[in-house]
Amino acid sequence: MMTIVRSFLTFALCLLPSALCAAQTPPAQSPAPAASAVASPILRVFLDCYECDTEYQRQNVTFVDYVRDRADADLHVLVTTQDTGSGGSSWTVKFIGLGRFQRQDRTFTFTTDQAATGDDRRKAFSRIFKIGLLGYAAETSVAPQLDLTWTEPTQLRSSADRDRWNSWVFRVNLNGNLNGERASTFKSARLSFSASRTTDNWKINVSMGGNVDRSTFLLEDDRTVKSQRDNWNLSSLVVKSHGPRTSSGLRAQLWHDSFGNYRRASRIAPAVEFDFFPYKESNRRSLAVQYSIGPTRYQYVDLTIYDKMEETVPTHSVNLSVGLRQPWGSLSAVADFAQQLSHRDRYRSGVFGNADVRLFKGFSFNLFAEYARIKDQIALRKGTASTEDVLLRLRQLATDYSYFYGFGISYSFGSIFDNIVNPRFNGPGFFFF
Amino acid sequence: MRRFLCAALLGVSTLVGATGLARAQETRTPSDQPATLRVSLHCDLCDLAFLKTNIGFADFVADAETAEVDVTVSAPAATSTEWKLAFAGRGRFAGRDRAFTFSAGAAAIDETRKELARWLKIGLAEYALDTGAGAQLDVKFNRPSTNTSTPSANRDRWNYWVFRVGVDAFGNGEQATVSRSYFVNTSANRTTENWKIRIGGYRSLNWNSFDLGDGETIESNVSDWSADTLIVKSLTGHLSAALTASVTGSTFSNEERVGQFAPGVEYDIFPYSESTKRSLTIQYTVGPAFYDYEAETIFGKMTEKIAKHTVSTSLGLSQPWGQAGGSFILTQQLTALERTRLTFSGSVRVRLTRSLTVNASGSYDRIRDQFTLEKGEASEEEVLLRQRQLATGHRYRFSFGFQFSFGALSNITVNPRFSL
Going by pLDDT thresholds of 50, 70 and 90, the confidence category of residue B388 is confident
Residues A230 and A89 in one domain: no
- For residue A204, the enclosing domain spans 167-411
Backbone angles phi, psi at B376, to 5 degrees: 95, 165
Q: What is the pLDDT of residue A356?
A: 93
Mutation choice for A interface testing from B141, B239, B344, B367 by most A CBs within 10 A: B141
Residue A418 predicted with pLDDT over 90: no
d(CA B105, CA B124): 22
Q: What is the pLDDT of residue A6?
A: 47
Strand B137-141 vs strand B161-174: parallel, antiparallel, or unpaired?
unpaired
Residue A16 predicted with pLDDT over 70: no
d(CA A336, CA B367): 50
Q: What is the pLDDT of residue B145?
A: 65
B79 at A interface, C-beta within 8 A: no
Q: Render pLDDT for B306-333 as a digit per residue (tens, 0 to 9).
A: 999 999 999 999 999 999 999 999 999 9
- Quickly list H helices, B346-405: 380-384
d(CA B417, CA A274): 9
A299 at B interface, C-beta within 8 A: yes
CA distances from A143 to A35, A138, A187, B61, B280 (A): 10, 5, 58, 28, 36
Q: What is the pLDDT of residue B35?
A: 81
Q: Taking the CA of residue A66 as centre, how many other CA atoms within 13 Å lie in the half-sphere pointing to its CB?
A: 18
Going by pLDDT thresholds of 50, 70 and 90, the confidence category of residue B3 is low
Residue A155 predicted with pLDDT over 70: no
Strand B195-211 vs strand A285-300: parallel, antiparallel, or unpaired?
unpaired
**Per-position DSSP letters for B65-77, written without gaps between them:** GG-SEEEEEEPPP
Tell me what the pLDDT averaged over chain A comes to.
87
Residues A243 and A306 in one domain: yes
Q: Render pLDDT for A41-91 as a digit per residue (tens, 0 to 9).
A: 899 999 999 899 999 999 899 999 999 999 999 999 999 999 998 889 999
Among A378-392, B19-33, B63-77, which is the least confidently predicted range? B19-33
Residues A299 and A173 in one domain: yes
Residues A49 and A198 in one domain: no
**Cβ within 8 Å, pair B8-A173:** no
Mean pLDDT score, B366-376: 92
Residues A103 and A201 in one domain: no
**Cβ within 8 Å, pair B408-A273:** no
Instruction: Give the pTM.
Output: 0.82
B80 at A interface, C-beta within 8 A: no
Q: Render pLDDT for B402-415 as a digit per residue (tens, 0 to 9).
A: 999 998 888 888 88
Nearest beta carbon to residue A151 from set B12, B136, B156: B136
**Cβ within 8 Å, pair B12-A236:** yes
Q: What is the pLDDT of residue B350?
A: 93
**Residue A403 belongs to some domain of the structure:** yes
Residue B176 predicted with pLDDT over 50: yes
Domain end residue (candidates: A144, A177, A206): A144
**Residue A27 belongs to some domain of the structure:** no
CB pairs under 8 A between A and B: 592
Among A23-32, A372-381, B197-206, B356-365, which is the least confidently predicted range? A23-32
Q: What is the pLDDT of residue B108?
A: 67
**Residue A157 belongs to some domain of the structure:** no
Q: What is the pLDDT of residue A433?
A: 36
Domains detected in chain B = 37-136 (3.30.160), 235-404 (no CATH)
Residue A150 predicted with pLDDT over 50: yes
Backbone angles phi, psi at B276, to 5 degrees: -80, -5
Residues A407 and A307 in one domain: yes
**Residue A9 belongs to some domain of the structure:** no
Q: What is the pLDDT of residue A393?
A: 84
B380 at A interface, C-beta within 8 A: yes
Residues A267 and A339 in one domain: yes
Residue B225 predicted with pLDDT over 50: yes
Q: What is the pLDDT of residue B20?
A: 43
Residue A316 Cα, gap to closest chain B Cα (Å): 16
End-to-end CA distance of chain B: 26
B21 at A interface, C-beta within 8 A: no
Ramachandran sector of residue B254 (left: φ over 0; alpha: ψ -120 to 50; beta: rest): left
Decide: B89 and B68 in contact? Cβ < 8 Å: yes
Going by pLDDT thresholds of 50, 70 and 90, the confidence category of residue A162 is low
**Cβ within 8 Å, pair B156-A419:** no
Decide: B290 and B258 in contact? Cβ < 8 Å: yes
Decide: B136 and A131 in contact? Cβ < 8 Å: no
Backbone angles phi, psi at A409, to 5 degrees: -125, 150
Q: What is the pLDDT of residue B149?
A: 45
- In DSSP terms, A190 is beta-bridged to A175, A211
**Residue A305 belongs to some domain of the structure:** yes
Tell me what the pLDDT averaged over chain B comes to.
87
Q: Higher pLDDT residue, A280 or A320?
A: A320
d(CA A195, CA A208): 9
Residues A237 and A115 in one domain: no
**CB-based contacts of A367: which residues, under 8 Å, 6+ apart?**
A353, A354, A355, A405, A406, A407, A408
**Cβ within 8 Å, pair B12-A250:** yes
Going by pLDDT thresholds of 50, 70 and 90, the confidence category of residue A179 is very high
Going by pLDDT thresholds of 50, 70 and 90, the confidence category of residue A391 is confident
Residues A233 and A339 in one domain: yes
Going by pLDDT thresholds of 50, 70 and 90, the confidence category of residue B215 is confident
B312 at A interface, C-beta within 8 A: yes
Number of domains chain A is built from: 2
Q: What is the pLDDT of residue A17?
A: 43
- Residue type for position B267: Y
Please state, for a pLDDT cut of 90, what percent of chain B lies above it: 65
Strand B97-103 vs strand B82-89: parallel, antiparallel, or unpaired?
antiparallel
Looking up residue A321, the CATH number of its domain turns out to be 2.40.160
Q: What is the pLDDT of residue B412?
A: 81
Decide: B73 and B84 in contact? Cβ < 8 Å: yes
Residue A267 predicted with pLDDT over 70: yes
- In DSSP terms, B278 is beta-bridged to B317
**Residue A417 belongs to some domain of the structure:** no
> Which strand (E) or helix (H) includes residue B52?
helix B48-54
Q: What is the pLDDT of residue B31?
A: 57
Residue B290 Cα, gap to closest chain A Cα (Å): 16
Mean pLDDT score, A114-125: 92
**Cβ within 8 Å, pair B320-A117:** yes
Q: Higher pLDDT residue, A412 or A28?
A: A412
B340 at A interface, C-beta within 8 A: no
Q: What is the pLDDT of residue A5?
A: 42
- Write out chain B residues lying below 8 Å of A203, CB-based: 415, 417-418
Among A270-274, A355-359, B4-8, which is the least confidently predicted range? B4-8
Alpha-carbon B245 to chain mean position: 27
Q: What is the pLDDT of residue A194?
A: 95
Q: What is the pLDDT of residue A23?
A: 38
- Quickly list H helices, A187-280: none
Going by pLDDT thresholds of 50, 70 and 90, the confidence category of residue A315 is very high
**Residue A23 belongs to some domain of the structure:** no
Residues A109 and A220 in one domain: no
Residue B395 predicted with pLDDT over 90: yes
Give the torsion sign (CA, A282, A285, A291, A294).
positive
Mean pLDDT score, B278-297: 96
**Per-position DSSP letters for A101-127, written without gaps between them:** GTT--EEEEEEE-TT--HHHHHHHHHH
Q: Buried b / exposed e across B310-333, counting CB within 10 Å, b at 16+?
A: bebbbbbbbeeebbbbbbbbebbb
**Residue A328 belongs to some domain of the structure:** yes
Residue A420 predicted with pLDDT over 60: yes
d(CA A319, CA A36): 58
For chain A positions 365-394, those within 8 Å of chain B (CB to CB) are: 384-385, 387-388, 390-393
Residue B354 predicted with pLDDT over 70: yes
Residues A176 and A131 in one domain: no
Neighbours of A223 (CB within 10 A): 10
Q: What is the pLDDT of residue A31?
A: 34
d(CA A192, CA A200): 26
CA distances from A312 to A252, A270, A382 (A): 15, 17, 19
Decide: B295 and B308 in contact? Cβ < 8 Å: no
Residues A130 and A171 in one domain: no
d(CA A417, CA A408): 23
Going by pLDDT thresholds of 50, 70 and 90, the confidence category of residue A353 is very high
> Which strand (E) or helix (H) includes residue A133?
helix A118-137
